[in-house]
Amino acid sequence: MEIVSVTDLKKEFDGLGVLKGISFSLNKGEVLSIIGPSGSGKSTLLRCLTQLEPVDGGSIVVNSKTMVTTTEEGKVRYADKQTLKDVRLSLGLVFQSFNLFPHMSVLRNITEAQMHVLGRSKSEAQQVAKELLRKMGLEEKEKAYPCQLSGGQQQRVSIARALALNPAVLCFDEPTSALDPELTAEILKVIKDLAKEKMTMIVVTHEMAFARDISDRVIFMDDGLIVEEGSPEKVFGDPQSPRTKRFLNRYEQD
Amino acid sequence: MGNLLQQMLVGSVTSLKIFALTLLFSLPLGMLVAKGRMSKNPILSNLVNVYIMIMRGTPLILQLLFVYFAPYYIFGSSYDRFTAVIVGFVINYAAYFAEIYRGGVQSIPVGQYEASLVLGFTKTHTFTHVVAPQVVKRIIPAMGNEVITLVKDTALAQTIGVAELFRVAQNASARQFSTMPIFIAGVFYFLMNAVVSRSFDLLEKKLNYYH
């Protein structure tokens, strides 16, 4: 079942094309990794999906709800408020810099949206939060504040915060780029466990071995375009485009 | 001496009234001013900026005189002196508070807004539950400064004839050919500000549970 469908997505910043016509789709239970050099538009793509950036062209359909379309004359049309909200809630996002709320306890970071946005009762929201914290190995941290946690722990809280809203797709925007190798391994394990549970995910990452390991499909992006797409065996083992080969060679040298 | 202290207490009550009423109105008014200053509408934000420049760029004493005497020239009559003092202080302090609020709001990382948006918070909820609590913590030191200045600035109310603490002390000083009452007034201001600083310290401590 197709859960996300992106067609000819375009985005410009001050007349400079960042996404120059991106099309891809994502099936339920699939893990899609997006790799590519910095500035290739990977993060912008996620930010367009999650409505943090308005698109300049193309269409996005999530859970058979049309979030945005573009007319033949090139006019971008976003859906009505309610649809946008539904789509927003069906896409969770985990940020590179966590973006936890520093003035709220770990527990409240996870319950706030459940109560305010989904209208769950406090006890229900706390139950969900505690269950997720247990899953993240942080059950003893519910009363702590984000500043008392390590980067890896903070990122796990932010994953729990996103999961608490039961998103259909969980998006990761370079979730380990702010972490040292040890903490990176900690987060990658969490994502791997989610993949085992058949959570649908889009992971923008610079961790090549990890992308190869967990993905059902890999997209290599460069300069606002999808250069190569396919199974991890194909993209990493037998890349077709010289640009992909050059990029992957860099990593193998390291 | 007992009589003098009694007069100075009465004067202090007037000073405290000016202090309390100024805070009561200028703290919320400052929010509106800050909102105008941060508005995307260039006409509004420029207009508000001119207002802030005038309030911060001219002496408060001049503003008090203007607020009290301008209506005489325009309408032939004015409101009572005490009201004029409150109006003058409120519009002046609202400008300073607005800039402190603005600094606080703009110091909140964009990631906080983005996380709120992705989680589906409304704009109002984002402001009241995510942004505002963090702004309060960040602006406490600057607000403490401003509020302490306000305690001392109340002495300017005498320029349009409101007998607050300092005026009472000066009068007594002239009657007694002694500077003692003025020094006693100094002690009064010092004690009031000791309470103010202590309160801000406590507030700062209370919000110290995160950084």
DSSP 3-state of B207: coil
Residues facing A24 on adjacent strands:
A6
Q: Total domain count for chain B?
A: 1
DSSP 3-state of A207: coil
Q: Which residue of B has its CA nearest to A96?
A: B111
Residues of A in contact with B211 (CB under 8 A): 102, 147
Contact yes or no for B119 and A112 at CB 8 A: yes
Average pLDDT score over residue span B45-66: 97
Task: Tell me: pLDDT of B68 over 70.
Answer: yes
Task: Tell me: pLDDT of A104 over 90.
Answer: yes
Q: How confident is the model at residue A254 (pLDDT cuts 50, 70, 90)?
A: low
pTM of the predicted protein model: 0.90
Q: What is the pLDDT of residue B211?
A: 82
Nearest by CB to B119, which of A97, A146, A165? A165
- Eight-state DSSP code of residue B127: I
Residues of B in contact with A102 (CB under 8 A): 134, 210-211
Distance in Å from the first CA to the final CA of chain B: 50
Q: Which residue of A has its CA nearest to B124?
A: A116
Contact yes or no for B115 and A146 at CB 8 A: no
Alpha-carbon span A159 to A189, nearest angstrom: 12
B132 within a domain of the structure (yes/no): no
Task: Tell me: pLDDT of B79 over 90.
Answer: no
Nearest by CB to B119, which of A113, A145, A146? A113
Alpha-carbon span B11 to A120, nearest angstrom: 55
In chain A, the percentage of residues whose pLDDT exceeds 70 is 99
Per-residue pLDDT tens digits for B101-127: 999 999 999 999 999 999 999 999 999
B38 within a domain of the structure (yes/no): yes
B107 within a domain of the structure (yes/no): no
Contact yes or no for B115 and A100 at CB 8 A: yes
Of the candidates B162, B192, B148, the one whose C-alpha atom is nearest the C-alpha of residue B171 is B162
Structural domain including B79 reads 1-95+145-207
Q: How confident is the model at residue A158 (pLDDT cuts 50, 70, 90)?
A: very high
Say whether the ipTM exceeds 0.90: yes
Per-residue pLDDT tens digits for B122-174: 999 999 999 999 999 999 999 999 999 999 999 999 999 999 999 999 999 99
Per-residue pLDDT tens digits for A109-121: 999 999 999 999 9
Contact yes or no for A102 and B130 at CB 8 A: no
Task: Tell me: pLDDT of B1 over 90.
Answer: no
B129 within a domain of the structure (yes/no): no
DSSP 3-state of B77: coil
Alpha-carbon span B95 to B34, nearest angstrom: 8
Contact yes or no for A112 and B129 at CB 8 A: yes
Q: What is the pLDDT of residue A224?
A: 94
Domain at B25, CATH number: 1.10.3720.10
Contact yes or no for B118 and A100 at CB 8 A: no
Per-residue pLDDT tens digits for B11-44: 999 999 999 999 999 999 999 999 999 999 999 9
> Which secondary-structure segment (H or E) carries B110?
helix B110-118
DSSP 3-state of B46: helix
B182 within a domain of the structure (yes/no): yes
B135 within a domain of the structure (yes/no): no
B126 within a domain of the structure (yes/no): no
Q: How confident is the model at residue B4 (pLDDT cuts 50, 70, 90)?
A: confident
Average pLDDT score over residue span A176-201: 92
Average pLDDT score over residue span A154-179: 95
Of the candidates A64, A59, A52, the one whose C-alpha atom is nearest the C-alpha of residue A90 is A64
Per-residue pLDDT tens digits for A14-36: 989 999 999 999 999 999 999 99
- Cα-flanking dihedrals φ and ψ of residue A18, to 5°? -105, -40
B68 within a domain of the structure (yes/no): yes
